């Protein structure tokens, strides 16, 4: 079991002024910030990040959405971080997300769903290294 996960507060969260509220919820849920940056992904970077979904019908819209404005990317630490964080963010579709989860509170739709969370320890490591160099992690 790893204690690290990767997140992005997606462009809709930045646009709608929800960064502060979402980070507050993450920190109050016991996650420690190990790295953080405010950045805008290029088309190439977003396509690479979501390469696993490249054959899905929503891929082009997903890349367009994820490059439509800046994001907040972060590495978070907590025991059982990946599973705990997926619980905190809720289902991909906010209509199916449980009460009190970040997606239930802040997401508008299954596509513009406020936040990303790694789905496995293996992908958490890949995603952290994709966005951060060793000298940016504390």
133, burial (CB in 10 Å: exposed 0-12, middle 13-18, buried 19+):
exposed
User: By CB under 6 A, which span of 29-37, 38-46, 109-117, 123-131 interacts with ligand UDP?
Assistant: 109-117
Can you tell me the distance from the alpha carbon of 48 to that of 93, in angstroms, rounded to the nearest whole number?
Answer: 23
Site string for ligand UDP, 13-52 (x = CB under 6 A): ----------------------------------------
Closest separation in Å from C-beta 107 to ligand UDP: 9
Closest separation in Å from C-beta 136 to ligand UDP: 23
Using the rule CB under 6 A, is 68 a contact of ligand UDP? no
Question: b/e per residue, 39-67, with b = 16+ CB within 10 A?
Answer: eebeeebbbebbeeeeeeeeeeebbebbb
Catalytic positions, please? 116
Q: Would you say 113 and 94 are in contact if contact means Cβ atoms under 8 Å apart? A: yes
Can you tell me the distance from the alpha carbon of 97 to that of 87, in angstroms, rounded to the nearest whole number?
Answer: 9
Using the rule CB under 6 A, is 119 a contact of ligand UDP? yes
80 vs 136, which CB is nearer to ligand UDP? 80
CA 133, 26, 48, 119 torsion-angle sign: positive
Using the rule CB under 6 A, is 116 a contact of ligand UDP? yes
The DSSP letter of residue 134 is G
Using the rule CB under 5 A, is 119 a contact of Mg ion? yes
Using the rule CB under 6 A, is 54 a contact of ligand UDP? no
Interface residues with ligand UDP (CB under 6 A) are: 53, 58, 62, 92, 110-111, 113, 116, 119
């Amino acid at each position: 079991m790893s204690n690290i996960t990767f997140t992005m507060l997606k462009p809709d969260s930045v646009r709608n002024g929800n960064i502060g509220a979402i980070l507050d919820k993450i920190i109050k849920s016991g996650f420690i910030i190990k790295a953080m940056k405010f950045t805008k992904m290029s088309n190439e970077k977003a396509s690479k990040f979501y390469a696993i979904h490249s054959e899905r019908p929503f891929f082009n819209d997903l890349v367009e959405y994820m490059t439509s404005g800046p994001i907040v990317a972060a590495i978070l630490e907590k025991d059982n971080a990946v599973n705990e964080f997926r619980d905190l963010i809720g289902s991909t579709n906010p209509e199916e997300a449980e009460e009190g989860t970040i997606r239930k509170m802040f997401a508008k739709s299954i596509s513009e769903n406020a936040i990303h969370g790694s789905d496995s320890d293996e992908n958490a490591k890949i995603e952290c290294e994709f966005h951060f160099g060793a000298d940016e992690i504390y």
